Chain A
Amino acid sequence: MDAREIYGLLVQKFPEGILEFKENLLDPAIEVKPQALIDVAFFLKAEQGLEFDYLRCLSGVDLKDQLEVVYQLHSIAKGHDLVIKVKAAAGDPVIPSVSGIWKTANWHEREAFDLLGINFQGHDDLRRILLPEDWIGHPLKKDYVPQPEYHGITPDRPDGLDAIPIGEGGEQPRPPIQYLPAMHGPKDEPEGKLFHLNMGPHHPSTHGVLNFMLNTDGEVLSRVVPEVGYLHRGMEKLAENLQYSGNMPYTDRIDYLGSMFCNHGWAMAIERLLNIEVPKRAEYCRVIVDELNRIASHLIATGSMAMDVGAFTPFTHWLRERETINDIMEMICGARLTYNYMRIGGVSRDISPAVVEKTLAWLDHFDIIMEEFDRLISENQIFIKRLAEIAVISAEDAIDYGLSGPNLRASGVDFDIRRDEPYSVYPELDFDVITGKAWKGSLGDCYDRYYCRMDEMRQSVRILRQALKAMPEGDIRAKVPKTIKPDPNEVYSRVESARGELGYYVVSDGSPKPYRAKYRTGSFTSMSIIEHLSPGLMVADLVALIASFDVVAPEVDR
């Protein structure tokens, strides 16, 4: 069902609540009155034939006099999309919370509150998520003034080429800190017999700087509250101050294990805004590097998972294999980690025959090593016992919490953006979508998430073999204007990254810089389910659970 039909339905059902249908947008949107939002959202989720069960992304936009919240909805069952918008006055932005309808909205709404100051009514835990509790102001508001210092930390660079200009903020009174949620305070009274434990931000198995506040009864967890934001670099704020093409190297830093996907998503978003056709060879180049990057990322995911349950050797073996991918990437684009390979309208360099040859040779070797790896660790009984039946996520929960990518598929949900919303040249390539098969325990347990990634690597090898063979001759870059100035419009583009759906919501106002760019990442949404899953797990299981989500901290915090 397309957006116009749904609009017709909604107008019939809620004649008062629906304001406008914005058909001229690239993703047609329906504007809803804040008062009617909950009813509309509930209707959209529950109505037969609509079944919008998956909230992809929730973004706040500052329109100067108004604040807008945009909901990107998707129906896994029906396979259609919808965008709804709600506006609130800038002075007192109150919008009802949909976190009761889609659980994934919980963290997204907290983020919108944190960065834009939108007050979501009915949200039970509306506090800052990415920024510290005592931060002043909401950075993504257009009238935000940067603070000159934060607890003695200044953005000043006394030496080097330039000092970073400091905003004219002056000293402002800081709100008193009553409770720093990032830690169990020393005065925290234990609840009953429970034991408070801060896991992180510096802990060997938190994969970066994440903090988990545990309430434990011996080894058994009664509650785990993840605290994120330690790696928040304000990527979205940075994007607003950069030209469209200049933001490309910054997207590398969203997810350091999957830079290619971040490049790809950004390039696709801007290409859609500009309506550019990308040459075929460039698309093939993109798919090849995407799949190489997917293998590299899954190698780290599966390897570190083995390391987190105590086996060190698999990790180093996978790092060794990843080293070859890094070498190949280095040959392709000149960098090993932050690739910055893609450009708006194509890719920066062509893939040479030497690269093709080396990649094909490595793939043959990799097949063997995959089998050896299975013998080494995947089939190991201790490994299986540590992961099987642990932290089982049902398909409903997975969709409700907005899990994506391998995490979603491991729960048996057959949804892959590469196949279901095809982009690039994926329709021309033959591959299977791997879903969880309850390999060793029940559907959606940690082992399924692990083995989904292993099998996905095999599929990536398949795609790579086809793509390397089928790569046509031709240009690698379309003609793109020198200064990119898209017409005022907005777009939501998504790619299937190694960590699930990577979405870019980009609003353009006709200037050379994006008006708003929101990054929807897979790790952020998968983190929000941990609190729901954790009761009853053991401390060691939590480590396996975090590893099984393949969380990359900078992708969570952006």
Chain B
Amino acid sequence: MREKSGIAAYFDNAWKAAYSTFEGLAVTFSWMFRRPITIQYPDKIDKPTQETLPDGYRGILEVDLDRCTGCMLCSKTCPIDCIRVKIEKNEETKERFITSFDIDIGKCMYCGLCTENCKFGAIHHSKEFEATACKRSDLVIHFTDQPRPVAKPKKDREPVDKPLGQVVRKKLKVCFEDKEGK
């Protein structure tokens, strides 16, 4: 581009300012007739956002205790220690029990490392993502209240057959609505 100088540069500058403003206005004016992309979350949407999310979305962790063999692999891989599993063993029957399975979703960073290591599809990401609480302790999801025996490993089962998020949705509801009620 050859540099203009003196009076030519002066008028060139003025002309370019006018012309580029004109072009810019034409672009912005054309947007007046295009559809906005904003989604009016959460109330004015066609269907729940959860349904629009792709498969494999990394939402709140969900545990299916019918499948959990109590191998503790998830808790060991978690880089942030947000999964705490307690296993107790009945010395007589040699049966192992999951006494508590807690996930602190306030701490979880949704990295997905635990789900990759779970061979039985017991822990997986749901499509739930709405979890607000007034206390951090409310963000700890307790997946079981009483001891329950660990599942027998069955490798040939489909990874997930329950609808994603059912368990955790119920848990979250209990967590938050109870607090509001009191």
Tell me if chains A and B make direct contact, with any CB pair below 8 A.
Answer: yes
Residues of A whose CB lies within 8 Å of any CB of B are 157, 159-162, 242-243, 245-250, 252, 313, 320, 323, 327, 330-331, 333-335, 338, 340, 348-349, 372, 375-377, 379-382
Q: List residues of chain B with CB within 8 A of the CB of A382.
A: 17, 20
Q: Write the nearest CB–CB distance from B76 to chain A, whole angstroms.
A: 9
Residue B136 interfacial (CB < 8 Å): yes
Q: Write the nearest CB–CB distance from A164 to chain B, whole angstroms.
A: 10
**In the bound complex, CA of A382 to CA of B140 (Å):** 53
What sequence of 0s and 1s flags, for each residue 40-65 of chain B, a beta carbon within 8 Å of any chain A beta carbon?
00000000000001101110000000
The answer to whether B20 and A381 have CB atoms under 8 Å apart is yes
The answer to whether B125 and A375 have CB atoms under 8 Å apart is no
Count class of interface residues, chain B: 35 or more
Q: List 9 A-B contacts (CB under 8 A).
A: A162-B104, A246-B79, A252-B111, A333-B58, A338-B110, A376-B24, A380-B21, A380-B24, A381-B13
The answer to whether A160 and B140 have CB atoms under 8 Å apart is yes
Considering only residues 45-93 of chain B, those with a C-beta below 8 Å from chain A are 53-54, 56-58, 77-82, 84
The answer to whether B139 and A249 have CB atoms under 8 Å apart is no
The answer to whether B23 and A375 have CB atoms under 8 Å apart is yes
Closest B residue by C-beta to A245: B113
**In the bound complex, CA of A159 to CA of B26 (Å):** 56
Q: Can you name 9 extra interface pairs (CB under 8 A) apart from A161-B140, A242-B79, A375-B23?
A: A157-B136, A159-B136, A248-B111, A330-B57, A334-B58, A334-B112, A334-B125, A335-B112, A348-B116
The answer to whether B27 and A376 have CB atoms under 8 Å apart is yes
Q: List residues of chain A with CB within 8 A of the CB of B8.
A: none
Q: List residues of chain B with CB within 8 A of the CB of A249.
A: 79-80, 109, 111, 113
Contact of A380 among B20, B56, B111, B139 (CB under 8 A): B20
**In the bound complex, CA of A245 to CA of B81 (Å):** 14
The answer to whether A349 and B79 have CB atoms under 8 Å apart is no
Closest B residue by C-beta to A157: B136
Q: List residues of chain B with CB within 8 A of the CB of A376.
A: 23-24, 27-28
Contact of B16 among A245, A323, A330, A381 (CB under 8 A): A381
Q: Write the nearest CB–CB distance from B129 to chain A, whole angstroms.
A: 10
The answer to whether B79 and A161 have CB atoms under 8 Å apart is no
The answer to whether A338 and B109 have CB atoms under 8 Å apart is yes
Contact of B81 among A162, A320, A333, A381 (CB under 8 A): A162
Q: List residues of chain A with CB within 8 A of the CB of B20.
A: 379-382
Residue B135 interfacial (CB < 8 Å): yes
Residue B4 interfacial (CB < 8 Å): no
**In the bound complex, CA of A372 to CA of B104 (Å):** 46
Q: List residues of chain A with CB within 8 A of the CB of B28.
A: 313, 376
Q: List residues of chain B with CB within 8 A of the CB of A348.
A: 112, 116
Q: List residues of chain A with CB within 8 A of the CB of B109.
A: 249, 338
Q: List residues of chain A with CB within 8 A of the CB of B80.
A: 249
Residues of B whose CB lies within 8 Å of any CB of A are 13, 16-17, 19-21, 23-24, 26-28, 37, 53-54, 56-58, 77-82, 84, 102, 104, 106-107, 109-113, 116, 125, 135-137, 139-140
The answer to whether B113 and A335 have CB atoms under 8 Å apart is no
**In the bound complex, CA of A479 to CA of B142 (Å):** 35
Query: How many A-B contacts at CB < 8 Å in the complex?
Result: 92
Q: Write the nearest CB–CB distance from A479 to chain B, whole angstroms.
A: 15
The answer to whether B140 and A335 have CB atoms under 8 Å apart is no
Closest B residue by C-beta to A321: B37
**In the bound complex, CA of A331 to CA of B57 (Å):** 7
**In the bound complex, CA of A340 to CA of B23 (Å):** 42
Q: List residues of chain A with CB within 8 A of the CB of B136.
A: 157, 159-160
Q: From A159, A161, A313, A348, name the one whose CB has the most chain B CB atoms within 10 angstroms.
A: A161
Closest B residue by C-beta to A372: B27
Q: Write the nearest CB–CB distance from A153 to chain B, whole angstroms.
A: 16
Q: List residues of chain A with CB within 8 A of the CB of B107.
A: 160-161
Q: From A313, A331, A348, A376, name the one whose CB has the most chain B CB atoms within 10 angstroms.
A: A376
Q: Write the nearest CB–CB distance from B53 to chain A, whole angstroms.
A: 7
The answer to whether A161 and B111 have CB atoms under 8 Å apart is no
The answer to whether A377 and B24 have CB atoms under 8 Å apart is yes
- A349 with B56, Cβ < 8 A, contacts A160-B104, A247-B79 known: yes
Q: List residues of chain B with CB within 8 A of the CB of A323.
A: 37
**In the bound complex, CA of A340 to CA of B125 (Å):** 14
Q: List residues of chain A with CB within 8 A of the CB of B21.
A: 380-381
Closest A residue by C-beta to B104: A161
The answer to whether A381 and B140 have CB atoms under 8 Å apart is no
- A381 with B17, Cβ < 8 A, contacts A157-B136, A249-B113, A375-B24 known: yes
Q: List residues of chain A with CB within 8 A of the CB of B116.
A: 348
Q: Write the nearest CB–CB distance from A381 to chain B, whole angstroms.
A: 4
Q: List residues of chain B with CB within 8 A of the CB of A162.
A: 81, 84, 104
Q: List residues of chain A with CB within 8 A of the CB of B54.
A: 327, 330-331, 334
The answer to whether A340 and B24 have CB atoms under 8 Å apart is no
Q: Write the nearest CB–CB distance from B61 to chain A, whole angstroms.
A: 12
Q: Write the nearest CB–CB distance from B50 to chain A, whole angstroms.
A: 13
**In the bound complex, CA of A313 to CA of B58 (Å):** 32
**In the bound complex, CA of A334 to CA of B23 (Å):** 40
**In the bound complex, CA of A380 to CA of B24 (Å):** 7
**In the bound complex, CA of A214 to CA of B171 (Å):** 53
The answer to whether A161 and B113 have CB atoms under 8 Å apart is no
Q: Write the nearest CB–CB distance from B122 to chain A, whole angstroms.
A: 18
The answer to whether A243 and B79 have CB atoms under 8 Å apart is yes
Q: List residues of chain A with CB within 8 A of the CB of B111.
A: 248-249, 252, 338, 340
Q: Write the nearest CB–CB distance from B174 to chain A, whole angstroms.
A: 18
Q: List residues of chain A with CB within 8 A of the CB of B26.
A: 375
The answer to whether B56 and A334 have CB atoms under 8 Å apart is yes
Closest A residue by C-beta to B37: A320
The answer to whether B37 and A159 have CB atoms under 8 Å apart is no
Q: List residues of chain B with CB within 8 A of the CB of A248.
A: 111, 113
Q: List residues of chain B with CB within 8 A of the CB of A161.
A: 81-82, 84, 102, 104, 107, 140
**In the bound complex, CA of A250 to CA of B106 (Å):** 16
Q: List residues of chain A with CB within 8 A of the CB of B77.
A: 245-246
Contact of A159 among B23, B113, B137 (CB under 8 A): B137
Q: Write the nearest CB–CB distance from B135 to chain A, whole angstroms.
A: 6
Contact of A330 among B23, B53, B79, B112 (CB under 8 A): B53
Q: List residues of chain A with CB within 8 A of the CB of B37.
A: 320, 323
**In the bound complex, CA of A320 to CA of B24 (Å):** 18
**In the bound complex, CA of A211 to CA of B80 (Å):** 31
Contact of B135 among A159, A247, A327, A340 (CB under 8 A): A159
The answer to whether B106 and A160 have CB atoms under 8 Å apart is yes
